[in-house]
Amino acid sequence: MNIWLVGGVEIISIFINLNLVDEIILSVIPVLLGNGYLFKNITKEKKPELINATGYEKLVELHYRVLR
């Protein structure tokens, strides 16, 4: 089952820390907002591992596997 989760670092960190996330596909438009941390509140054991990156004309798609 796939679920599309939209939110910032706080909501994503909660879902990862509860073991509810297997993968993350992140599309980035290169504008830095806030302090720039994508995964700041995630425990060290669950840090996402980058498994693929695809560049497009105006954005980059980053595909992460969440370690359990």
The answer to whether residue 1 is domain-embedded is no
pLDDT at 68 (0 to 100):
72
Per residue in 15-45, pLDDT (tens digit) is 889 988 888 887 766 555 555 666 667 776 6
The answer to whether residue 4 is domain-embedded is no
The answer to whether residue 2 is domain-embedded is no
The answer to whether residue 16 is domain-embedded is yes
pLDDT at 47 (0 to 100):
73
Q: Which pTM was predicted?
A: 0.51
> Any idea which residue has 């907002």 for tokens?
33
User: Which structural domain range is residue 60 located in?
Assistant: 9-66
Distance CA 57, CA 37 (A): 23
Residue 52 pairs with which residues in a beta bridge?
A: 63
Q: What does DSSP say about strands 48-55 and 60-66: parallel, antiparallel, or unpaired?
A: antiparallel
The answer to whether residue 36 is domain-embedded is yes
Q: What's the structural domain count of the chain?
A: 1
**Per-position DSSP letters for 3-54, written without gaps between them:** ------HHHHHHHHHTT--SEEEEEE-S---TT--SSTTS-GGG-EEEEEEE
The answer to whether residue 3 is domain-embedded is no
The answer to whether residue 52 is domain-embedded is yes
